[in-house]
């Protein structure tokens, strides 16, 4: 299974909204091509949440789904958030990266936990956004979690009560983060936070908080 979790991959092309503030051109299509993945062969796109640095490749410059044969799974709470947005920036994100998917008929809204396969389970982990989702992987006795923006910076492991600046509901995000950190340690999951300097690592208890240990690159 290919994994695209690092945020620079999700920013999108230079025409995408997140390029304006990040100055980063996302590299997802190039990296998929390097792995020999044809976008037409992708059947499912799991969207962790609707921040623009995570959905920049939803559509092409021409406004068509980048993965024309895929269903795009988005949590209903995040879809509603953006579909009903009145803020100008969020309206632009919706019209450029989400509405075209609706017009193409490829949106699948999730609500509770969503079993993608026997080994992949999408779980609602709200707080960062109302519909933020993480992907648990249980395969061949190994466990991982693509945790998107559950934790935005390693300092939040040292101080688990520290909300991220982009957490829409800081209290809810803290509660979700605390609960998941306990589960991650208990299950021994390798984690892939979207915004850490290293894409994969493990988390262990350390005093009153946790310690991040990146996997060798
Ligand atoms: Zn985010």
Residues 156-200: pLDDT tens digits?
999 878 888 899 999 999 999 999 999 999 999 999 999 898 999
| Separation CA 190–CA 61 (nearest Å) | 35
C-alpha 193 – ligand 1 centre gap (Å): 11
C-alpha 128 – ligand 1 centre gap (Å): 6
User: Which residue shows structure tokens 């920049």?
Assistant: 56
| Separation CA 201–CA 1 (nearest Å) | 18
Report the pLDDT value the prediction gives residue 18, as an integer from 0 to 100: 77
User: Which residue shows structure tokens 């789904």?
Assistant: 65
Strand order in the sheet with 209-214: 114-115, 120-124, 133-139, 142-148, 190-193, 201-206, 209-214
Residue-wise pLDDT for 153-168, tens only, equals 999 999 878 888 899 9
C-alpha 151 – ligand 1 centre gap (Å): 10
C-alpha 54 – ligand 1 centre gap (Å): 7
C-alpha 22 – ligand 1 centre gap (Å): 13
C-alpha 91 – ligand 1 centre gap (Å): 17
What are the b/e assignments for 9-22, b being 16+ CB within 10 Å? Answer: bbbbbeebbbbeeb
Report the pLDDT value the prediction gives residue 1, as an integer from 0 to 100: 38
Report the pLDDT value the prediction gives residue 20, as an integer from 0 to 100: 75
Regions in the chain scoring below 50 on pLDDT: 1-5
C-alpha 49 – ligand 1 centre gap (Å): 7
C-alpha 108 – ligand 1 centre gap (Å): 20
Report the pLDDT value the prediction gives residue 9, as an integer from 0 to 100: 66
C-alpha 26 – ligand 1 centre gap (Å): 15
C-alpha 140 – ligand 1 centre gap (Å): 30
C-alpha 23 – ligand 1 centre gap (Å): 17
C-alpha 158 – ligand 1 centre gap (Å): 20
C-alpha 52 – ligand 1 centre gap (Å): 8
């Amino acid at each position: 299974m290919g994994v695209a979790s690092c945020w620079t991959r999700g920013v999108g092309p230079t025409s995408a909204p997140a390029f304006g503030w990040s100055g980063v051109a996302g590299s997802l299509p190039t990296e998929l091509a390097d792995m020999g993945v044809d976008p037409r062969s992708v059947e499912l796109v799991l969207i962790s949440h609707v921040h623009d640095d995570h959905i920049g490749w939803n559509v092409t410059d021409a406004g068509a789904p980048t993965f024309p044969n895929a269903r795009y799974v988005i949590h209903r709470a995040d879809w509603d958030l953006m579909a009903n947005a009145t803020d100008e920036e969020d309206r632009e994100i919706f019209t450029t990266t989400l509405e075209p998917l609706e017009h193409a008929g490829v949106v699948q809204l999730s609500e509770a936990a969503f079993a993608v396969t026997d080994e992949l389970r999408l779980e609602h982990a709200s707080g960062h956004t109302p519909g933020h989702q993480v992907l648990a992987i249980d395969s061949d006795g190994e466990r991982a979690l693509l945790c998107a923006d559950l934790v935005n910076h390693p300092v939040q492991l040292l101080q688990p009560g520290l909300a991220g600046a982009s957490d829409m509901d800081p209290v809810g995000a803290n509660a979700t983060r605390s609960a998941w950190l306990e589960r991650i340690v208990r299950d021994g999951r390798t984690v892939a936070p979207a915004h850490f300097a290293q894409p994969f690592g493990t988390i262990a208890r350390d005093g009153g908080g946790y310690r991040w240990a990146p996997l060798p690159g």
